[in-house]
Amino acid sequence: AQKVTQAQTEISVVEKEDVTLDCVYETRDTTYYLFWYKQPPSGELVFLIRRNSFDEQNEISGRYSWNFQKSTSSFNFTITASQVVDSAVYFCALSEGSGGTSYGKLTFGQGTILTVHP
């Protein structure tokens, strides 16, 4: 069975600090996709990134960057120069690729609550 672990339950930082959210996953599949979602207080999950298991290149998007390492089954997320608006719950998720589609099913980690203080 697949599993996603986000060991950090809560992180508190001061604005402009860099922060890294950890994500470790388990799957038996060789083809899979990893996601990060952000959940602000309004409740909806906001898509941040999707990465497939064949692409280990790190990705940077503005202040966000992601480090994918298959050797350690990790997909960590770093926010550079954090801002108060980054405060939210962040979820890492895994989707297996058997049959070419997951039919809507993602396995989520428990989430990391990030609080950025001014």
Can you give the binding site for other proteins, defined by CB under 8 A?
33, 35, 37, 42-47, 50, 52, 91, 93, 95, 97, 100-111
> Measured from the CB of residue 76, what is the shortest distance to other proteins in angstroms?
19
* CA distance readout (Å), 3 to 14, 22, 89: 31, 14, 19
Cβ proximity to other proteins: between 47 and 57 the closer is 47
| Nearest residue (CB) to other proteins, 44 versus 62 | 44
Characterize 38-73 residue by residue with b for buried, 16 or more Cβ atoms within 10 angstroms of its Cβ, and e for exposed: beeeeeebeebbebebeeeeeeeeeebbbbbeeeeb
What tokens appear for 90 in the block? Answer: 């962040």
7 vs 57: CA distance, rounded Å: 23
Q: Which is nearer to other proteins, 15 or 55 (CB)?
A: 55
- Tell the smallest beta-carbon distance from residue 118 to other proteins (Å): 26
To other proteins, the closest distance from the beta carbon of 58 in angstroms equals 20
Closest distance to other proteins from the beta carbon of 81 (Å): 27
